[in-house]
Structure 1
Amino acid sequence: MAPLTLFKKWLKSWRGSRRASLPGFSAGQAAASAEALQAGLDLSSDGIVLLDSAGRIVALNSCAQSLMHSVLGNLRGADFWEAVPEEIADEHRGATEQALLETGTHNFVVWHAFENQWVDYGLRQHDDGALVTLKDVSTIHQASRSLRYSESCNQILFDAHPQAMWLFDTGSRQMLAVNNAAAAVYGVAPEALVGLFVESLFPEGDGASLLDSLPPGDFEQEMRLCTQKKADGELMLVELACSSVQWALRPAVLVSVTDVGARHLADAHLSRLNEELEMRIAQCTAELQSSQGELKAFTSAMLHDLKAPLHVIDGFAATLAERHGAALDAQGQHYLSRIQASSLQLARLIDDLRTLTYLPSMPMAPQRVDLVPMCQRLMDELHKREPARHLVLEMEPALPLVCDKDQLCIALACLLDNAWKFTSRKEQSWIRVGLMPGEGPAEIVLSVSDNGAGFDRAYTDKLFTAFERLHSAVDFPGTGLGLAIVKRVAQLHGGRVWAIAADKGGASFFMSLPQNSEPVGGSPPTA
């Protein structure tokens, strides 16, 4: 039941109680009327106090009794200002009585420190007295304080933020707040910008068109690149990040300002540098391609031109040995054998150089290959060169993998020739060829091991470099290009090479071969 309705009931009851003193009106009826009034007051969730014309308390409910925090026991019949705590009466009595005389109503809020409670007092004057309503507004007051504190923190953070920012009202487009960083960018005090229209920050006509391009309603972030002007009229290129927000319970737009003039100049300069760099790269690429073409032509001509006189030297040396060998003394025969050996060495060097040069231009044709027949054929050729050699070749019955057959045959020939050569001084020599899993599921590692002379681990990184020899050419003749060819084949397949020296002589050479390329048609392994 509303306090005003209760007050009217109280007036009616009070007038009835006055009539109760007249003949014919019983005391029982007056008591019943008072009980009905008290029951109605207790139904209210707010505190209600009814005062007579002299300001004395006629009736009140239990909620009012609690909210008044009075030190008196029985409040009925007590003066209202004597019933409330003394500090409340001292602070509010004068202003309340003056307001009731002038307007008939007055409100004030008091804080009970011990209970940490805020109570709103509302007084309304009437001819027969006054109505006092009391409400516990602690929750509302605390929420209001929290809101004010939050707004204060937001304002402090906004003002102190190093990023230039300002806000404007969505409807009027007037500036609501400007932080110190933004004021420094525009060269004017923050308070001088607050209240101005946003268009004043832009050159003539630019601001309205930019603001009209923002989406209506709520939006998260919109980026705009535009020109703005400072207080002295200087124009600057800026990037605006706009977001819709609520500021002091008003729909607004938060604008973050970044001066990108220097960055724009730097980007333009970088763009010019990139263009110049691309031109230089294209020029260097053309020069490199031209040089590579010239080098390839030179290499081809050199190898071809060397091969012809070499055949002549070898042919005349063979004819000399055949027709006049018996007429030569021991020294002459030694000279002749040196000529033949040197021509053979040079022929092998030219062949290896041609192989190393032309490997990158060979077409890649991955297919499934079985290495066992290939190894047996290569070993037969080595045995033909030295029929007296006894060497054991260890292999699995099948060694299948996907590779370019021609290129792998070249690499495998180099590895087997290398193992054959360095096991030549062993009475019981062996070569082991095998396959093992690589680092990933699509990789196979080819290994060729022997029990030969091995190598010094300190020079492992030089093994696969062209013309790098770790043994004397007198002890183990060779061109110094075999392992370089093996490395080139591995690289062309997308793999790599490495070697490990055994503790008691011998070495193992490894070549990883990615198996990503599937053979055309899924043909069976070929030899």
Structure 2
Amino acid sequence: MRSPLAVFRAWLKARRSRPTWGDTLADGNAAADGNGFQAGLELASQGIIALDADGTIVALNSQAQALMHSTGADLSGMEFWEAVPDRVADNHRSVAEQAVQSGFAHVFVAHDPFQDQWVEYSFTPHACGAVVNLRDVSDTHQALQLLHGSELCNRSLFEGNTQAMWLLDADSRHVLALNKAAAAFYGLPGDTAAMPKVEAFFPEGEALRWLASLPAGDFQQQMRVCTQRKMNGELVLVELACSTVLWFERPAALVSVVDVGARHFADIQLQRRNDTLEQRIAQCSTDLQRSREELDTFTHAMSDFLKAPLHVVSGFATVLAERYSSALDEQGRHYLARIRVSTRQLAKLIDDLRTLAHLPGLAFKPEPVDLAPLCHRLVEEWRKREPQRHLVLEIPQTLPVFGDRDLLVTAVDCLMDNAWKFTAKKEQGWIKVALIPGATPEHSVLSVADNGAGFDAAYADKLFTAFQRLHSSADFPGGGLGLAIVKRVAERHGGRVWATTADNGGASFFVALPQAPVAPLPDQVGSNR
């Protein structure tokens, strides 16, 4: 089957000698050709209207009638501009007629608001008049409107953005546009008509190096720190970020400009301060190490120098008590007993001070430890020293914990000694040692409770402070360092300590210890009651 255009051309060739469309269609001998011409028009996918030299419609197909919204009326013989809506004729008639008379094709698009339809009218001049092609372009027009609206939105966002931005053509690498913020940043006039070259934004030679560093086509996530030159010659350090965009259907790179000069200066200042701080920290570490060494030396010297005469005093007091107690009256024997008690207390204080000072430097070797045998041994030693004491000791068969054996032995010694001391005035004292679940499965808690003198709960925060005592040394002798040592041992294990008391007396002390090996933490000063 031949196309409608081929039929139309054949019909024109056959009737080329006839002066007008009307003569051609009116000729009875050409009826067959006319019917073939109309059939060809009906096969067309768009509307076709044939006009004579006067602009009268001599032929049209049903598609044209539908687009002219006159399917129920015969438009043949009507003047074309009278068949179309008045607004179409008023807006396009003069220009279309002038173009056809001059032998030029003419195209325009008209909108039908009632049908919300856009129709394209395409005029092609011919020797017998003109051919008008009609095509529904509503979908295309709506797509163009959406595209135009998107482009306007993009331009609005681009122009109104407070971030300095400019557009670089992806092919020519020329500046396509820059927003107001960029114009203000570079010192360009706000009404700049001609776009500056990209070289204007860089110091001499750097623009080519920057362009060469950009990949061809894809600019996504391309960021560079470089120097920019303002129009007054000022150089600034900036961060340029590029991303690929379409700018009015042209591939382009959107370049955002961030002044990082202040940040770079701040980074330099921060680095200098960090270097200074590192030097100070190193110096402080050296001074701290030297101070610890001096403290260790002083502690050793003081303990040796103090213990030597203390042993002498204690020895002579023992000799006096053994050999000459019968020669002394009651008051003299009391004084002698006070001397012996004071020397023992001072010796214990020296030992505690030495232990407290040495804890930070002791090696930390965690291992499984059973504390039950230690507790039994301590109590047996104290019972030998004070056989008149009546004390009930409650200890499970095993007290399995995990930590440094030497440190834990020291802490348990302090806790048990504390409980033994504060139950001294009880006719029937008791000490209970147990392991209870911790706040998390990774911790266990060692508990040492007694029914001794207890403490005032208002001063519980002072219990583990060195040399802090909540009871008179005359009532309960001690140096005030035992619980400080316990706290320091707990912290070396990554744990913590706390205590509770009851209204009717007694106290409970708790030490939370990790169940798994942990690195030792920096030592901190503890406290005691």
Q: Normalising by structure 2, what TM-score? A: 0.90
Given the superposition, is the C-alpha separation of residues 58 and 477 from structure 1 closer, same or farther in structure 2, using an over 3 Å criterion? same
Contact 1:173–1:197 (8 Å) recurs in 2: no
* 2:48 alignment partner in structure 1: 48
* 1:486 alignment partner in structure 2: 486
The DSSP-based 3-state class of the residue aligned with 2:360 is coil
The DSSP-based 3-state class of the residue aligned with 1:497 is strand
Question: Are positions 1:382 and 2:382 aligned together?
Answer: yes
* 1:372 alignment partner in structure 2: 372
Q: Which moved more, 1:8-17 or 1:175-184?
A: 8-17
* 1:417 alignment partner in structure 2: 417
1:144-163 matches, within 5 Å, as: 144-163=144-163
1:322-347 CA-partner distances (Å, limit 9, x unpaired): 22222222222221111111111111
Shift of 1:439: 3.1
Shift of 1:204: 1.8
Contact 2:239–2:260 (8 Å) recurs in 1: yes
Given the superposition, is the C-alpha separation of residues 192 and 251 from structure 1 closer, same or farther in structure 2, using an over 3 Å criterion? same
Between the aligned partners of 2:143 and 2:25, the Cα distance in structure 1 is 49
Shift of 1:39: 4.6
One-letter identity of the residue aligned with 1:8: R
Between the aligned partners of 1:493 and 1:472, the Cα distance in structure 2 is 32
* 1:447 alignment partner in structure 2: 447
The DSSP-based 3-state class of the residue aligned with 2:67 is helix
1:185-204 matches, within 5 Å, as: 185-192=185-192, 194-204=194-204
Structure 2 residue runs of 5 or longer lacking an equivalent are: 519-529
1:18-33 matches, within 5 Å, as: 29=32
One-letter identity of the residue aligned with 1:66: A
Shift of 1:3: 6.2
Shift of 1:194: 4.3
Question: Are positions 1:508 and 2:518 aligned together?
Answer: no
* 1:263 alignment partner in structure 2: 263
Contact 1:175–1:194 (8 Å) recurs in 2: no
* 1:522 alignment partner in structure 2: none
1:369-417 CA-partner distances (Å, limit 9, x unpaired): 2222222112212222222222222233322222211211111111112
1:175-324 matches, within 5 Å, as: 175-192=175-192, 194-324=194-324
The DSSP-based 3-state class of the residue aligned with 1:427 is coil
Q: Which moved more, 1:134-143 or 1:47-56?
A: 47-56
One-letter identity of the residue aligned with 1:323: R
Q: Which moved more, 1:150-159 or 1:93-102?
A: 150-159
The DSSP-based 3-state class of the residue aligned with 2:90 is helix
Between the aligned partners of 1:194 and 1:348, the Cα distance in structure 2 is 92
Shift of 1:48: 2.3
- Considering only aligned residues, what root-mean-square deviation do their CA atoms show, in Å? 2.6
Between the aligned partners of 1:90 and 1:19, the Cα distance in structure 2 is 31
* 1:107 alignment partner in structure 2: 107
The DSSP-based 3-state class of the residue aligned with 1:359 is helix
Contact 1:367–1:405 (8 Å) recurs in 2: yes
Shift of 1:22: 7.4
Identity of aligned residues (%): 57
1:462-496 CA-partner distances (Å, limit 9, x unpaired): 11111111122222222211111111111111111
Contact 1:13–1:37 (8 Å) recurs in 2: no
Between the aligned partners of 1:315 and 1:116, the Cα distance in structure 2 is 120
The DSSP-based 3-state class of the residue aligned with 1:363 is coil
* 1:524 alignment partner in structure 2: none
Shift of 1:19: 8.2
Q: Normalising by structure 1, what TM-score? A: 0.90
Between the aligned partners of 2:332 and 2:276, the Cα distance in structure 1 is 66
Structure 1 residue runs of 5 or longer lacking an equivalent are: 519-527
Shift of 1:252: 1.9
Question: Are positions 1:173 and 2:146 aligned together?
Answer: no
Between the aligned partners of 2:52 and 2:81, the Cα distance in structure 1 is 13
The DSSP-based 3-state class of the residue aligned with 2:66 is helix
* 1:7 alignment partner in structure 2: 8
Q: Which moved more, 1:102-111 or 1:276-285?
A: 276-285
1:211-241 CA-partner distances (Å, limit 9, x unpaired): 1111112131222222222212222222222
* 1:525 alignment partner in structure 2: none
Between the aligned partners of 1:385 and 1:197, the Cα distance in structure 2 is 99
